[in-house]
Amino acid sequence: MSDLFAAFGVNWKLLLIQAVNFGLLLAALSYFLYKPILKIIDERREKIAEGVRIANAAAKKLEDAKGESDSMIGAAAKEAEELVATARMRADEKGSEMMKQAQSRSDALLSEAQARAEEAKRQAIQESEREIARAAMLAAEKIMKQKSA
């Protein structure tokens, strides 16, 4: 075998020393570089996984909050519609009540005006009757004066 190494120009002692050096370098790099890098990668992987879990939890909370806000908005809209309907109903009731009051006032004013008109008519008729009676008396008196004269 040494003839084979010699034929290719390989020094087995130098090859053995290089193999030992490579093993030492491999052990040193593994201890000082590879394991710390793997540790850092694992830590980052855990942080990323934690961030993903937190993001998923936040997304779920956001979805829950959105659903809750939608239900609250729906409830508020329904309550607002009920309030508007109640207000309209009250306004209609108040309007009809005011219309009834106005109608009763106008009826009262109309009946009062008719009563005043009847009273004025009656007084005018009485005044006319008095005037007619006075005119008749004056005419009768004038006729009597003419006959007696």
Per-residue pLDDT of the chain (149 residues; tens, 9 = 90+): 677 777 777 787 888 999 999 999 999 999 999 999 999 999 999 999 999 999 999 999 999 999 999 999 999 999 999 999 999 999 999 999 999 999 999 999 999 999 999 999 999 999 999 999 999 988 888 888 888 86
Contact between 11 and 5 (Cβ < 8 Å): yes
> Would you state the pLDDT for residue 12?
78
Contact between 12 and 5 (Cβ < 8 Å): yes
Q: What is the spatial distance between Cα 27 and Cα 30, in angstroms, rounded to a whole number?
A: 5
DSSP 8-state symbol, 9: T
pTM of the model: 0.43
Q: What is the spatial distance between Cα 68 and Cα 65, in angstroms, rounded to a whole number?
A: 5
